[in-house]
Amino acid sequence: MKKEVPNIYDIAEFANVSIATVSRVVNGSDKVSEATRKKVLKVIEKFGYTPNVFAQGLGLKTMHTIGIIVPTLADDYMATAVDYLEKGLKRHGYDCILSCSGFELTEKQSKCDMLLSKHVDSLILVGSTYAGNGVDASATDYIREAAKKVPVFIINGNISGENVYATVCEDEAVVCDVTGKMIERGRKNIWFLTDSRSYSSNNKKKGYEKAVERAGLASNVIYVENDIHSVKEQLSGLKDKPDGIIAANDKIAVGAVKYAVSAGLKIPDEIEIVGYNNSILAMSSTPEISSIDNHTAEVCHDTVERIMHNLNDDGYKPSNKITISCNLVCRETTKVSD
């Protein structure tokens, strides 16, 4: 059963001193007489009270804690990013408080508020869902509000605002390039599959559309569920058959591979498939999926470094936006370009 933990009030009461005195003893201040110090320590010993973050927090400007918000950890990309961030921050002596917000605006807002109430030194929002759809600015007002209190870093989302720092991946450029190369290899009916209308997904879509339009081909954007079997079934239900697929994430690409196999389409001769995130899912598939690597490790490392420059106020002013370039990791679902 739960043990009652004595707090600083209890200690102050039993030692018959002020809580400020308890705090001074705990923090090793020399402004306390030896007799008082002994009296307080005796009570602390008796109650088993250990100086905790709350007491210490009173005497410190920072708790060396960073708040991380992620929509869900049940997503390989997000979980991996949090793992990198957590390890990177730890190396600088910072702990993390993690909260999962889901994808609804009200919950995103409330998790921000919750973490701010915990007095974090900075907030990191992981994933482009926090950047809204890039059109409606009111969907990101809560971020600019939070940034009035602490610096806010957003991973793979672009939001402008004071004290807001974004790391974005060059999604549009890489998808445009990869689609263009597929077209050069003779593909004429390339589809773009996505499950999201987020900032990042919209950029991938733009890159795809730019490439097909430039080649005078029709664009075909298909919104799917983020579920392997749903993707397979949805594609199987369509009359037309693509000769190329660009998927907004690897899970969708796995569904596309299963569709192609069941439809009897030879990979990569009759259909090429490209995934996104270069995750373990791309490797788990047979054939293994060529996937766009968005350099999660680099993005997270960079974010941690900029947070440290910011918090340490070391004279190096991190820029508000950094762009990380992406590249295709070729495996078995694409042909090699000349």
CB of 2 to a copy of itself, least distance (A): 5
CB of 55 to a copy of itself, least distance (A): 7
Q: Indicate the residue among 140 and 310 with the shorter CB distance to a copy of itself.
A: 310
Within 10 Å of residue 268's Cβ, how many Cβ atoms? 21
Q: Indicate the residue among 67 and 180 with the shorter CB distance to a copy of itself.
A: 67
247 near 226, Cβ under 8 Å?
A: no
Within 10 Å of residue 221's Cβ, how many Cβ atoms? 14
CB of 72 to a copy of itself, least distance (A): 6
Q: Indicate the residue among 14 and 208 with the shorter CB distance to a copy of itself.
A: 14
Q: Indicate the residue among 5 and 137 with the shorter CB distance to a copy of itself.
A: 5
Say which residue the tokens 């807002």 belong to: 109
CB of 117 to a copy of itself, least distance (A): 6
Q: What is the CA radius of gyration of the chain?
A: 26
**Alpha carbon distance 263, 306 (integer Å):** 48
Annotate 277-329 with three-state secondary structure: CCCHHHHHCCCCCEEEECCHHHHHHHHHHHHHHHHHCCCCCCCCEEEECCEEE
CB of 223 to a copy of itself, least distance (A): 21
Distance of CA 202 to the CA centre of its chain: 17
Q: What are phi and psi of 65, to 5 degrees?
A: -130, 135
Q: Which amino acid is at 146?
A: A
Q: Indicate the residue among 130 and 208 with the shorter CB distance to a copy of itself.
A: 130
Picking from 325, 310, 269, the residue whose alpha carbon sits closest to that of residue 147 is 310
Q: Which amino acid is at 256?
A: A
Q: Which amino acid is at 297?
A: A
CB of 38 to a copy of itself, least distance (A): 23
Q: Indicate the residue among 171 and 250 with the shorter CB distance to a copy of itself.
A: 250
